[in-house]
Amino acid sequence: MNTKLERNDLCWCGSGRKYKKCHMAFDDKIRLFSEQGHLVPEHEMIKTPEQIQAIKESCKINIAVLDYVSENIRAGMSTEEIDKMVYEKTTQLGGIPAPLGFEGFPKSVCTSINDQVCHGIPSEEDILHEGDIINVDVSTIYHGYFSDSSRMFCIGSVAPEAKKLVDVTKECVDIGIAHVKPWTFLGDMAAVINDHAKINGYSIVREIGGHGVGLQFHEEPWVSYVSEPGTEMLMVPGMIFTIEPMINMGVPDIYVDEANDWTVYTDDGQLSAQWEVTVLVTEDGCEVLCW
């Protein structure tokens, strides 16, 4: 936990109010969970109202970009064309594509097709075909604030088993959203997502999960979707993170393409799907900021 303030000190949140009138009771409640051995958030993970509003503005651009992709994606298109669409729409709206140059990533968006789990790199050689499923993962910087979400797209008529995977993955995210509640744990949310995937015969990638977002592209906490109830970090109002389980039709095992050191594939070559939303923990549940 953070250094304890005195009652009459100014609150750490920047409100200008005395600590006793602002976040003192909030911190005391978190401290109780910490003393019980639970993982709790640091103050830096709790967004202020001003930061939340700025993150929401970034999210508006992210949503608009994904809407634009949704209106234009089609069979016969290369993933390079999707990258150009994302770059042009993001910059037109005043944003910056967050993936571009991030840790050396060469493009403005991730495009992951069929057995690609995530971090697919757009290319003129990757053409979308009838029956493909693809995840388009868009992330935006606007006035220094970050947003992040992704959607699955079915190209033309897809096989029933592929459509079911896409739909169940979306259901998993919706179930996760419903279980984001303050003063419960990330593991509580993870468990219900994992249960729904397993009931449908699927598995969830273990090594890659969600993350905090807003002031940086990737922040704490790391969000697992294979955890037990009552474990992982305590969720409290003001936290912002992504829900983005990567769900495989077959085994959960994955590998990274050695040729580009980015693209993640299913180990057994079966399909994978992912939807991603950004949520804000509120006093009585959560608000979906970016979808």
Instruction: Give pLDDT, residue 182.
Output: 98
Residue in 160, 162, 188 with CA at minimum distance from that of residue 175? 188
What mean pLDDT comes out for the span 108-113? 98
**Class of residue 141 by CB neighbours under 10 A (exposed 0-12, middle 13-18, buried 19+):** buried
- Partners of 139 in the β-ladder: 148
pLDDT interval class at 14 (50, 70, 90): confident
- Residue 219 pLDDT greater than 80, yes or no: yes
Given its phi and psi angles, is residue 201 left (phi above 0), alpha (psi -120 to 50 degrees) or beta?
left
Backbone phi and psi for residue 88, each to the nearest 5 degrees, phi listed first: -65, -45
The pLDDT score that the predictor gives to residue 118 is 98
The pLDDT assigned to 68 comes to 98
What is the helix (H) or strand (E) element at residue 116, kind and residue range?
strand 116-118
92's tokens: 């037109």
Q: What distance, in Å, lies between the first and last C-alpha atoms of the chain?
A: 32
Mean per-residue pLDDT over the chain, rounded: 97
pLDDT of the residue at 79: 98
Say yes or no to pLDDT of 2 above 60. Answer: no
Residues 75 and 46: beta-carbon distance below 8 Å? no
Tell me what pLDDT residue 88 has.
Answer: 98
